[in-house]
Amino acid sequence: MAKRATVADVAALAKVSSATVSNVIGNRSGKVSTRTRQRVLEAISALNYTYNENAATLRSNKSNIIGLVIHDLSNPYYTELIAKINRQLAKKGYATILACSDENLESQQSYLHLMQRHNALAVLLCPTWDTSGEHLAAWHDLSPTITFLRPVGSHESDFIGIDNYQAAYDLTRQLIADGHRQLAFIGGSQSSRLRRQRLQGWKDAHEDAGISWNDAHILYCSSSMSAGSAAVMQLFQQTSDVTALVCYQDIVAFGAMNALHYMGKTVGGEIAVTGFDGLSDAEGWLPSLTTAEVQIAVLAEHIVDRLLARLEKPQEPPSVTLLHAHIHWRASSHGDVDSSHAR
């Protein structure tokens, strides 16, 4: 294992100073002549030189590391999002340190600490539910935090989220307009703020239509297909008059549809099902799933853009962005419709 070549080695071979080599590497414009740059590049390749990020970060106090801390890696929505963010950052030359808090605040804080130790330029955070403003304030001075999807109360930081209330309201209103009178709301956990927003939209759509809901039709379940199945099986053991299921997430909706099929009920005709997320599998599901989508690519783009803007102007006041979901009306919520046209 031969020692790695250093800037000094390259400089020696190219017969220039190490400062010049550094300028070539850093691509600092107008600092070095074309001829010299050429010689340096040749030397770099001849020596198989590898840049040392640690030394550079130490000296310049600017790393190329972005921390990405998330609470859940088992939900495809998040993993697709991570993949997209990761790719966009890599394209800009940043490396991502990933951490998963597993909905554990202590673990999240320890990961945030880790990011600081590595001089992370910034941290992208989808926080645990019990995260409060004070938990972030400590880090925010050192590297800016951008939160997404889950808002943190009482803290001034950039936030990119989704207009959950409106999407749930629109979904529910349309189902009611379609004639449904007994609707269920399936999924989410008690501590979830997102769930509260979506559920509020569901309730308000009821109220505005002048119909009442049944609290027994509001069920919690964890974020998995089997949990969705189980919840729906339970629901129909108690009641049989529900005709529409508004699911908290697409994966819960998949599980719900699985349970309905299993019980011999026809999804789309007999019982309407809607999801939330716009997973790519929603369209190819049988029947295809009506869902409220904020394209993951769009969300990722907003997050990365906000990050870059924040790095440019650290002092600007934080901004809050709410992305509007597009509802894809598909067969799962209407017997014979199978298009993405908004109605």
Partner DNA sequence: TTGTATGCGTTATCAG
Partner DNA sequence: CTGATAACGCATACAA
For DNA, the binding residues (CB under 7 A) are: 3-4, 6-8, 15-23, 25-26, 30-33, 35-37, 49-52, 55-56, 58-62
Distance CA 327, CA 318 (A): 29
Q: From its phi and psi, is residue 142 left (phi > 0), alpha (psi between -120 and 50) or beta?
A: alpha
Residues 94 to 133: which contact its own copies by CB under 8 A? 95-100, 102, 110-111, 113-114, 116-119
Query: Exposed, middle or buried, 28 (CB in 10 Å: 0-12/13-18/19+)?
Result: exposed
CA 213 to chain centre: 31
Pick the stretch among 1-9, 149-157, 299-307, 321-329 that binds its own copies (CB under 8 A). Answer: 1-9
Distance CA 159, CA 7 (A): 41
Task: Select from DNA, its own copies, none the partner in contact with residue 241, using the beta carbon and a kind-dependent cut-off of 5 to 8 Å.
Answer: none
Write out the two tokens for 34.
């074309």
CA 311 to chain centre: 20
Task: Select from DNA, its own copies, none the partner in contact with residue 340, using the beta carbon and a kind-dependent cut-off of 5 to 8 Å.
Answer: none
Residue 35 C-beta: closest distance to its own copies, Å: 27
Residue 122 C-beta: closest distance to DNA, Å: 18
Distance CA 325, CA 163 (A): 7
Binding of its own copies by 191 (CB under 8 A):
no
Interaction pattern, residues 40-79, with its own copies; x per rule: CB under 8 A: ----------xxxxxx-xx----x----x----xx-x--x
Residue 120 C-beta: closest distance to DNA, Å: 15
Binding of its own copies by 291 (CB under 8 A):
no
Residue 90 C-beta: closest distance to its own copies, Å: 7
Binding of its own copies by 308 (CB under 8 A):
no
Helix 133-140 and helix 105-117, axial crossing angle in degrees, nearest 10? 10
Task: Select from DNA, its own copies, none the partner in contact with residue 319, using the beta carbon and a kind-dependent cut-off of 5 to 8 Å.
Answer: none
Task: Select from its own copies, DNA, none the partner in contact with residue 33, using the beta carbon and a kind-dependent cut-off of 5 to 8 Å.
Answer: DNA
Number of residues in contact with its own copies under rule CB under 8 A = 61
Nearer to DNA, 60 or 132 (CB): 60
Prior bond of 287 cis (ω within 30°): yes
Task: Select from its own copies, DNA, none the partner in contact with residue 17, using the beta carbon and a kind-dependent cut-off of 5 to 8 Å.
Answer: DNA
Binding of its own copies by 285 (CB under 8 A):
yes
Buried-state track 60-72, b at ≥16 Cβ within 10 A, e below 16: eeebbbbbbbbbe
Nearer to DNA, 21 or 85 (CB): 21
Sign of the CA dihedral with 221 first, then 224, 228, and 229 last: negative
Residue type at 98?
Answer: L
Distance CA 324, CA 168 (A): 11
Q: In what order do the strands lie in the sheet with 326-328?
A: 218-219, 183-186, 244-247, 272-277, 290-293, 326-328
Binding site for its own copies (CB under 8 A): 1-2, 4, 50-55, 57-58, 63, 68, 73-74, 76, 79-80, 82-83, 86-87, 90, 95-100, 102, 110-111, 113-114, 116-119, 141-142, 224-227, 229-230, 233, 254-255, 257-259, 261-262, 280-281, 283-287
